[in-house]
Structure 1
Amino acid sequence: MHREKSFTQLLEVFERKLRSGELVVGDRLPGERTLAETYGVSRASVREALRVLDAVGLITTGVGSGPKAGSVVVSEPSEALGWALRMHLATSSLPVADVISTRLHLEGPAMVEAAAAPDSLERDAALQRAGSYLDEMDDPQITDERFHFCDTRFHYELAAVGSNLVMKTIIDSLRIATISYVQEAVPHLEDWQAVKRTLQEQHRGILAAVVDRRPQDARARLEEHILWFSRQSLSFARP
């Protein structure tokens, strides 16, 4: 009698194919029935494996039929890591204060690298995108949700200038992890509009220091910004 493989074994198959290059970003996976028949697993095991791949940011799944249906290989590690951290923060297993401390340890040096990075089209483009997010955040009609999103992307673009891929992914995931606590704190702030204005002044100062190649100033401004905002917002969060 054929022994059925578990969904974890199917995940190992996908890992080997990704490592070997047989599967690459943009590839579409076969349907559930084909996967089940090919690897000798039940369709329930296939669905479980696909759910795990989706949760860790390795596939995106379209519903229905047609060219956009099915599962496509993607790579969105920071979003997956961010959500995992958010869930563990919600259980109080990971203290919010420790997340803030980790951001300081990682983003400070990242700003030094960004300010010292050699001229390149990539650097110019990242700094321009960072500035564009700040311009959008200046709009008095911007929603809070969009403001938080642009804030996150601003930090990501600066981190992307000087840091390696793993570093900027972790920095982005840490930002994502604290979004829910920031959003919960906003209604409790005495003057959210004033807080936003101060945040924008700090953001502009950080960006200027990076653009003008002042590494230590960029780091100091970034650290001051993180600590100031954490005092304003995360005082309402659980320790």
Structure 2
Amino acid sequence: MTSKPSTPSVPARAYETVLNSIEADLRAGRIKLGDQLPGERTLAETHGISRASVRDAIRILDAMGVVRTSTGSGPNSGAVVISEPAIGLSATLRLHVASRQLSVEDIVESRILLETWAAESADLTSDPQRSAAALEHAGELLKAMDAPELDREEFHALDAQFHVLLSSLAGNAVIEAMMESLRLSITDYVSESVQGDEAWDDIAAVLRAQHHGIHEAFVDGEGKRAAQLLREHIEWFYAESHRI
């Protein structure tokens, strides 16, 4: 019996050594949020790789929202550990949407699933003060979106904040990060989907009314109604933007 030829293993890239090491240190608590990573030279010597490979690793961590880099000296210079998971998720999703490997339709459907679940799972009584503050902030965003002089890009930015903020009431950090990443991943699609100011003015008027209805349902603690209104709101805009 002849044996199958073994598949040669792909050698790990040098920068992956740094990524794996930092992941291990984060898991073990040796590195925490706000800590500054060792400098390029130290990391290169520690892992026996070039400083160029270290820079590649830091750039990847920056793009993933794991570190923030800055020049200069002091505790906030170099690569400082942060946690902004939506940055990396949204950047990845945007590229795959652009390459047409992920459809906007699937992204929209995922948004509906997450937002309706979050609305039905929102517990305003577990932390009343936090919930009241979030709903008050959402109300302020609605007032800002109601301003007639508001341009389209500003409206979309406020709209994104509004949806992510309401989703945060479910108290699930992963859902919140995913929601923000999904919103960011189709920002260009949303902003480019409606051509012409007259068409946008009519659509914006409907979106404003829908937003107020959704907010009212949350304030009243009616999660199921809020979920249904969210579904109708998202589906309506997607259908309307395809109709134009």
Structure 1 length as normaliser, TM-score?
0.90
Question: Quick check: 1:83 aligned with 2:91?
Answer: yes
Instruction: Assess if the C-alpha contact under 8 Å between 1:107 and 1:159 holds in 2.
Output: yes
After superposing the two structures, state which structure 1 stretch, 27-36 or 39-48, moved more. Answer: 27-36
Q: What's the secondary structure of 1:191's corresponding residue?
A: helix
Q: Deviations over 1:6-25 (max 9, x none)?
A: 11011010001111111111
Question: Quick check: 1:139 aligned with 2:143?
Answer: no
Q: Report the counterpart of residue 52 of structure 1 in structure 2.
A: 60
Question: Quick check: 1:101 aligned with 2:70?
Answer: no
Q: Deviations over 1:205-236 (max 9, x none)?
A: 00100110112211111001000111122567
Question: Quick check: 1:124 aligned with 2:138?
Answer: no
Tell me: CA distance 1:47–1:119, structure 2 relative to 1, closer, same or farther (3 Å): closer
Instruction: Assess if the C-alpha contact under 8 Å between 1:115 and 1:209 holds in 2.
Output: no
CA distance in 1, matches of 2:114, 2:159: 17
After superposing the two structures, state which structure 1 stretch, 56-65 or 189-198, moved more. Answer: 189-198
Q: What's the secondary structure of 2:80's corresponding residue?
A: strand
In the TM superposition, 1:1-239 aligns within 5 A as 6-65=14-73, 68-114=76-122, 118=126, 120-188=128-196, 190-234=198-242
Tell me: CA distance 1:188–1:90, structure 2 relative to 1, closer, same or farther (3 Å): farther
Report percent identity of matched pairs: 42
CA distance in 2, matches of 1:65, 1:94: 42
| Unaligned 5+ runs, structure 2 | 1-11
Instruction: Assess if the C-alpha contact under 8 Å between 1:112 and 1:215 holds in 2.
Output: yes
Structure 2 length as normaliser, TM-score?
0.88
Which amino acid in structure 2 is aligned with residue 102 of structure 1? S
Tell me: CA distance 1:13–1:119, structure 2 relative to 1, closer, same or farther (3 Å): closer
| Unaligned 5+ runs, structure 1 | none
Tell me: CA distance 1:144–1:134, structure 2 relative to 1, closer, same or farther (3 Å): same
After superposing the two structures, state which structure 1 stretch, 219-228 or 123-132, moved more. Answer: 123-132
Q: What's the secondary structure of 2:122's corresponding residue?
A: helix
- The size of the alignment, in residue pairs, is 233
Tell me: CA distance 1:44–1:234, structure 2 relative to 1, closer, same or farther (3 Å): farther
After the TM superposition, which parts of structure 1 deviate over 3 Å for at least 4 consecutive aligned residues? 64-68, 115-119
Which amino acid in structure 2 is aligned with residue 58 of structure 1? V
Residue 81 of structure 1: CA displacement?
0.5
Which amino acid in structure 1 is aligned with residue 33 of structure 2? V
Q: Deviations over 1:128-168 (max 9, x none)?
A: 22122212112223232222111111111111001411122
Instruction: Assess if the C-alpha contact under 8 Å between 1:78 and 1:169 holds in 2.
Output: yes
Residue 186 of structure 1: CA displacement?
3.0
Q: What's the secondary structure of 1:71's corresponding residue?
A: strand
Q: Indicate the RMSD between aligned Cα atoms, in angstroms.
A: 2.0
CA distance in 2, matches of 1:221, 1:31: 51
